[in-house]
Amino acid sequence: MNSINAYGLCGAAGFLMGIGYLFFITRIKSEDFSDFVYVYVWAAIGAVIGAKILYILLEVPWILRNAGSGGANLRQYLRIMISSGFVFYGGLFGAVFAVKTASRYFSLDFVKTLSLLTPAMPLAHAFGRVGCAVVGCCYGRQTRMCIGISYADSVYAPNGVRLVPVQAMEAFADLVIFGVLVWVLLKKADAHKSPGIFERYLVMYACVRFLLEFLRGDSVRGHLWLFSTSQWISMAILFLLGIHKVFIRRQLGRE
């Protein structure tokens, strides 16, 4: 099985697990399963498109620098970029935009729909990160730790070098986030009618991603000063959510 097939298989497994979660939660919350599956499919398509667009945008400087080389390395890199290059935050933004569009199309409440769909995001993402671990993309820094992993024939990661298993670490964190979000949904009867579920997800994932980025070793990522693109996006998310909370509290205080 080649790397692209392995990654795709893990992605498909994550997609199916998300459907399984929706079947469970819609029964608990007495919602129409079919409505949410339709939106979920839209969200998956939006995630793939958004993740690919952001990846290509981040690679534009590299493409411009090497466009004139015409070498085999450039052609090979472009094939990899088109076939398997994705950036998660682009996928997240694409998924939310798709949920917004689909909710309007199917005449569904956007907040409730997004809230119930939110736990499927870290669940599917966890399987995607397992796919990354299998093929070697998004690999970690070189390490001497016993938990390090090494690859023998990876197209992406350096072979024969022990690396921090950052993909597996993120997959585990995603599963923990998934469990927390489902627990909140089950604990509070009206939790799915509030944007709080999605906000919790953003806060937890942004913190996890910011920290794990320090353990990443792959160079095919955007950087600005001391931080990677994903770290800047994580900080922006936390900052904007903080401003939003302050604004809401002030509004409530005035009332």
> Which range has the worst mean pLDDT, 73-77, 132-136, 146-150, 159-163?
73-77
pLDDT at 152: 92
> What angle, 0 to 180 degrees and rounded to 10, lies between the N-to-C axes of helices 72-84 and 33-66?
170
pLDDT at 65: 67
Please state, rounded to an integer, the average pLDDT across all residues of the chain: 88
Burial class, 252, CB count within 10 angstroms (exposed 0-12 / middle 13-18 / buried 19+) = exposed
Distance separating alpha carbons of residues 126 and 10, to the nearest angstrom: 9
Q: What would the mean pLDDT of 41-64 be, rounded to a whole number?
A: 86
Confidence of residue 150 (pLDDT cuts 50, 70, 90): very high
Neighbours of 9 (CB within 10 A): 15
Confidence of residue 4 (pLDDT cuts 50, 70, 90): low
Q: Which two tokens stand for residue 50?
A: 């958004």
Burial class, 146, CB count within 10 angstroms (exposed 0-12 / middle 13-18 / buried 19+) = exposed
pLDDT at 183: 96
**Per-position b or e across 102-117, b if 16+ CB within 10 A of its CB:** bbeeeebebbbbbbbb
Tens digits of per-residue pLDDT, 189-208?
887 888 899 999 999 999 99
The answer to whether residue 240 scores a pLDDT higher than 90 is: yes
Q: What would the mean pLDDT of 74-92 be, rounded to a whole number?
A: 72
The answer to whether residue 1 scores a pLDDT higher than 60 is: no
Q: Where are the alpha helices (DSSP H) in the chain?
A: 3-28, 33-66, 72-84, 88-105, 110-117, 120-135, 166-187, 196-212, 229-254
pLDDT at 249: 60
The answer to whether residue 250 scores a pLDDT higher than 90 is: no
- Biggest alpha carbon–alpha carbon distance for the chain: 65
Q: How far apart, in Å, are the Cα atoms of 250 and each of 196, 198, 239, 253?
A: 18, 21, 17, 5
pLDDT at 193: 81
208 and 156 in contact (C-beta within 8 Å)? no
Q: What would the mean pLDDT of 155-177 be, rounded to a whole number?
A: 96
Q: What would the mean pLDDT of 108-137 be, rounded to a whole number?
A: 95
